[in-house]
Amino acid sequence: MERINVTKTFLPPIEEYHQYVREIWQNGQITNQGPLLVQLEDRLEQHLGVSNLHFVANGTVALQLAIKALGIEDGEIITSPFSYVASTSAILWEKCTPVFVDIEPDTFCIDPDKIEAAITDKTRAILAVHVFGYPCDIEKIEEIAKNHKLKVIYDSAHAFGASYNGKSLMSYGDISTGSFHATKLFHTVEGGCVIVNDKLASDKVELMKRFGHNGDDHIMLGINAKSSELHAAMGLCNLKYADEIIQKRKAVSEKYEQLLGDKFLRPKAKEGLTYNYAYYPIIFESEEQLLSAVKQLNDNNIFPRRYFFPSLNELSYIESSNSCPISEDISRRILCLPLYDSLDNQNIEKICEVLSK
């Protein structure tokens, strides 16, 4: 019986990847801002309609660079508890304190109406997450940040290919970060990006991602966030298929909609969103119902994911005094169904048949 995972990595024709590998062998350079990496950064900027894009090793280090580039050395960062753990891990790793604000019940993104109550004299920034590729309330967050002189970082790990009001969802905020992990609809095997709207901060990212020095001139503290020519080659191969992948994922999502109807609660898109069909989350009536469904799906060789669970304010190694009842509730009842470009109708019908029982 075929195993159906929550996602399946898209792989381009191997001959196309081999062409880039041969080019790498001819150039003799496999890292340190090689020509393919520079080419990928340029093409991503064109594809997304953004400037100052830095291709880095992964999406987590992208968040760490964003925090450092904005001069946030300590203090509190307001963030969402409904996210992959990397958003909170980056805050903690940079010796800052995550302050969790509950989410909207319809979009699952951070609730802007609850942000101001969490601001203190220690607050330095807002790190919000475009959950499942659905946009945060960008206008309200921008207004709050401006009024309180705070920086805004968007974790846009799910937002590649999504646009809001005619602009890439990854173009908003002081800095937006992306993930190009193999599970994403556009990937470079491992990888991520930092998109910086301020040139001075962008120059800092450029230095920090390669140890903080130019040649023998050591300018500032840095780390190794560089990626390789081999990862850039995969990105160059995959980028040409990105729009096609999104359209195929759209077809899978529409098939789910057709078969499941209104049996499950789903996130609601804001007006102005052109969606990328990054995930297909459904909400069960209870955690018990979810666990029962997961067991039945697993028994049929189908492996969805509890994404996101647990609510991050409930992590055992975090001291959080903020209650986030909506996030805590949703995290216990949410399940992401298998979604990838090559998932066929027969398997979608199989998944929905098990769920219907």
DSSP string, 150-169: -EEEEE-TT-TT-EETTEEG
Give dist(CA 179, CA 168) in Å, integer.
15
Where residue 202 falls among pLDDT bands split at 50, 70, 90?
very high
pTM above 0.85, yes or no: yes
Task: Locate 27 and state its tokens.
Answer: 């150039």
**Structure token pair of residue 42:** 């340029």
With bands split at pLDDT 50, 70 and 90, how would you rate the model's confidence at 174?
Answer: very high
pLDDT of 218 strictly over 70: yes
pLDDT of residue 320: 72
Per the CB < 8 A criterion, the answer to whether 210 and 226 are in contact is: yes
User: For residue 213, what are its two tokens?
Assistant: 């020095």
CATH fold of 242-356, please? Answer: Aspartate Aminotransferase, domain 1 (3.90.1150)
Q: Which tens digit of pLDDT belongs to each residue from 345-354?
A: 999 999 999 9
Closest CA to 338 of 299, 295, 307: 307
Query: 357 pLDDT band (50/70/90 cuts)?
Result: confident
> What is the share, in percent, of the chain residues with pLDDT greater than 90?
97
Mean pLDDT lowest for which of 8-22, 122-136, 247-261, 310-324? Answer: 310-324
Mean pLDDT of 201-209: 97
In CATH, the architecture of 14-101+108-239 is 3-Layer(aba) Sandwich (3.40)
Q: Would you state the pLDDT for residue 1? A: 67
Which backbone phi and psi does 25 adopt, to 5 degrees? -65, -35
Average pLDDT over residues 8-31: 98
**321 pLDDT above the threshold of 80:** no
| Mean predicted confidence (pLDDT) in 160-184 | 98
Q: What integer pLDDT is reported at residue 322 of this predicted model?
A: 82
Instruction: Please give the pLDDT value at position 36.
Output: 98
Instruction: State the average pLDDT for the chain.
Output: 97
For the chain, give me the number of helices (H) and strands (E)? 11, 16
Closest CA to 157 of 294, 302, 60, 54: 60
pLDDT score recorded for residue 96: 97
Locate the domains of the chain by residue range: 14-101+108-239, 242-356
pLDDT tens per residue, range 71-113: 999 999 999 999 999 999 999 999 999 999 999 999 999 999 9
Directed axis angle between helix 229-239 and helix 35-48, to 10°?
Answer: 30
CA distance 211 to 341: 38
Section 35-46 average pLDDT: 98
Q: What is the DSSP letter of 110?
A: B
Short-list 244, 254, 271, CA closest to 339: 254
User: Which of 41-50, 235-244, 320-329 shows the lowest mean pLDDT across its residues?
Assistant: 320-329
3-state secondary structure of 100: strand
DSSP label of 18:
H
Please, which pLDDT band fits residue 138 given cuts at 50, 70 and 90? very high
pLDDT value of position 338: 98
